[in-house]
Amino acid sequence: MVTAVQPVAPPLALPGETPRTARFSVRHLGPNWYAPVMGTAIVGTAGGAFAGGPAVLRPAAAGVWALAALLLAVVLAARAVHWTRHRDRARAHLDDPAVAPFYGCLSMALLAVGAGALGPGRDVLGGSAAPVVAAVLFAVGTVTGLVVAVAVPYLMVVRHRVAPGGASPVWLLPVVAPMVSASSGPLLVPYLPAGQWREALLLASYALFGVSLLATLLILPVVFARLLHHGPLPLALTPALFLVLGPLGQSTTAVNKLADVAPGAVPAPYAQGLGALAVVYGVPVMGFALLWLALAGAMVVRAFRGGMPFTMGWWAFTFPVGTCVTGSQTLAHHTGLTAYAWLAVALYALLVTAWAVASVLTVRGLLRGELLAAPRR
């Protein structure tokens, strides 16, 4: 979803573009590095959610989730070192409108791994530990996401200076995090005592859904207007267009998962209404997601032909697409349409391909020392 060193890539890069030297150092490791955690976690979670798939899929999904959990621990530790030893760079990241939005990735990485703990992660953690891990990561990720959803827009208003035509899909990152919480909360509802506790978490998840949805509706028109009035994004930034899929697929996933647990948390009339809302909302939103996927895909093909370089921004091809996979899976469950099940399979194939390519190129960039090298303006 982001790059640290590639040329002319401000919204997807940390300050500066081209590396001066290939040197490995956490000094230039920013919040963008949570993107591989998110992309890896969604591969495991979505893969573990397929019903009736190949027998190897479940253990493979558990292995991928374990890898995501390991990556989360590594990046958290590296970021802690970054803040401890390189506070000047950390503060500079907060002051940079191209970098600050990526703090939303921290929350989403925590939530993505936490949600997977109750899916394929259960095979790794065990039945008793999985809910505890999921609850802790949900709580920390939700609080972090709400703080970022307020703090980053505040900084953009009072401290950042955004040039005309500087709107970017990256602006969605801080406000999408509460939507990831909204789709994770329903997984924990059955573990709470019946009555007030379940109802409180259910309605809190709907509130998080509203926070993210309304903020997204404010940002999307600005992003599309930027494309219309200023033309395509620079080549290296083009993958950021896939970030728009995140709130679309994640909101569809959230509203359907909330409907699944509503009967055990709220009275029947409301539970039935929420079940209808899941389909009435999810079907048109997923339709728009497919339209945007086609548009963004065409832009990426154009950029690729124009010489689009590899950046960490290529991770934008993973988590947002993964949310569309889970959204399709939940719609298949609620509508009974086989078409949604096949759509989920097709999108999952795209997700796994994108994840494999981004992973290989990221490892190569790390081994060469390019992705963490000192930037040159």
| pLDDT one-digit tens code per residue, 250-285 | 999 999 999 999 999 999 899 999 999 999 999 999
Quickly count: other Cβ atoms within 10 Å of residue 350's Cβ: 17
Return the CATH number at 245: 1.50.10.150
Domain interval for residue 167: 18-376
Task: Show Cβ contacts of residue 29 under 8 Å, excluding neighbours closer than 6 positions.
Answer: 4, 78, 79, 82, 372
Contacts (Cβ under 8 Å, ≥6 apart) of 259: 271, 274, 275, 277, 278, 334
Average pLDDT over residues 216-234: 93
In a domain, 308, yes or no: yes
Cβ contact 254:183 at 8 Å: yes
The token duo for 353 is 């391909």
Q: Judge whether 10 lies within some domain.
A: no
89 located within any domain: yes
- Choose between 81 and 374: higher pLDDT: 81
Distance CA 375, CA 93 (A): 13
- Each residue's pLDDT tens digit, 51-98: 777 888 999 999 999 999 999 999 999 999 988 888 888 888 888 888
Q: List, as own/partner pairs, every contact residues 21-24 make where C-beta atoms lie below 8 angstroms and the sequence separation is at least 24, other chains included.
A: 21/369, 21/373, 21/374, 22/368, 22/369, 22/370, 22/373, 23/369, 23/372, 23/373, 23/374, 24/366, 24/369, 24/372, 24/373
Q: How far apart are CA 76 and CA 322, in angstroms?
A: 22
Question: Would you say 83 and 52 are in contact if contact means Cβ atoms under 8 Å apart?
Answer: no
Task: Look at residue 8 and tell me if it is in a domain.
Answer: no
Distances (CA, A) of 78 to 142, 273, 352, 373: 21, 46, 26, 15
Whether the Cβ atoms of residue 374 and residue 27 lie closer than 8 Å to each other: yes
Q: DSSP state, 172?
A: G
Whole-number Å distance between alpha carbons of 169 and 119: 30
Residues 76, 58: Cα–Cα separation, whole Å: 27
pLDDT band at 225 (very low <50, low <70, confident <90, very high): very high
pTM equals 0.90
* Category of 368 on φ-ψ map: left (φ > 0), alpha (ψ -120 to 50) or beta: alpha
Helices and strands, number each (H, E), in the chain = 12, 2
* Average pLDDT taken over every residue of the chain: 90
Calpha distance 115→317 (Å, rounded):
20
Looking at residue 12, its pLDDT comes to 38
Number of domains the chain is built from: 1
Strand pairing report for 375-376 and 18-19: antiparallel
Residue that the structure tokens 């798939």 belong to: 53
Check if the beta carbon of residue 375 is closer than 8 Å to that of residue 28.
yes
Q: Is residue 5 part of a domain?
A: no
Q: Is residue 350 a part of any domain in this protein?
A: yes
Has residue 256 been placed in a domain? Answer: yes
Evaluate whether residue 2 is within a structural domain. Answer: no
Q: Which residues contact 122 (CB under 8 A, 6 or more apart)?
A: 130
Residues 317-325, mean pLDDT to the nearest whole number: 97
Tell me what pLDDT residue 254 has.
97
Per-residue pLDDT averaged across 191-202, rounded? 95
